[in-house]
Each structure stands twice: as structure tokens, then as C-alpha cells.
Amino acid sequence: DIQMTQSPASLSASLGETVTIECRASEDIYNGLAWYQQKPGKSPQLLIYNANSLHTGVPSRFSGSGSGTQYSLKINSLQSEDVASYFCQQYYNYPLTFGSGTKLEIK
């Protein structure tokens, strides 16, 4: 199985700041990487697919980048509604595997 190592586990930032979450795969996943947002008490929502493509309806302040084994999610101009947990997931190979999540809070 491909292991996904996500960091940091938690993050606190001020409104308007830019934050970055990292995900490292145990082998090359050839951009088969997705990012999800899960707000408290809600189900996950797809933000980014193919490492850098924005899913339908996702605000442009979210962006994804990376290649090979290293990927990141960047959130520009942090808003209060961005308080959530964020997960990465590789879908390059079965079984699909997830990172352990990053909990984002507002300072």
C-alpha cells in the first residue's frame, strides 16, 4: 500500500493569512492526488483533484501543487469558513489511501 504522510497535524492561523498543508507519498503517485475539506460534523468535500485541478464550485483561494511524492494544498486569504480538517488522498494505485488529516483553526 502507498503510505501518505500529512503535515502538520494541526494548524492555527489568522484571518487573511496564507496557509500550506503538505502531503508526502511513500512512492511516486504521478499526480493522482486529491485534497478534501471536512467541516465539523459534516462529510468530506472534494477540493482538488489531479494534484492541482480545482473541483466544481471550490473558491479560487484554494490551490494544489506538487509532483512525484511531494504535494501541497495552499489556502490564500484565510476565511472563517475555512475552519475544517483537510485530508489528502492518493488514487494512483489501489488501495486508495488517505493522509492522517490537518485540523485548521483560526487564531
Partner 1 sequence: EVQLVESGGGLVQPGASLKLSCVASGFTFSDYWMSWVRQTPGKTMEWIGDIKYDGSYTNYAPSLKNRFTISRDNAKSTLYLQMSNVRSEDTATYYCTRGSMGITTGYWGQGVMVTVSS
Residues that bind partner 1 (CB under 8 A): 1, 34, 42-46, 49-50, 53, 55, 85, 87, 89, 91, 94-98, 100-101
Residue among 14 and 94 whose Cβ is closer to partner 1: 94
Beta bridge partners of 27: none
Distance CA(45)–CA(107), nearest Å, equals 24
Minimum CB separation of residue 32 from partner 1 in Å reads: 9
Minimum CB separation of residue 34 from partner 1 in Å reads: 6
Supply the DSSP symbol for 101: -
Distance CA(16)–CA(73), nearest Å, equals 16
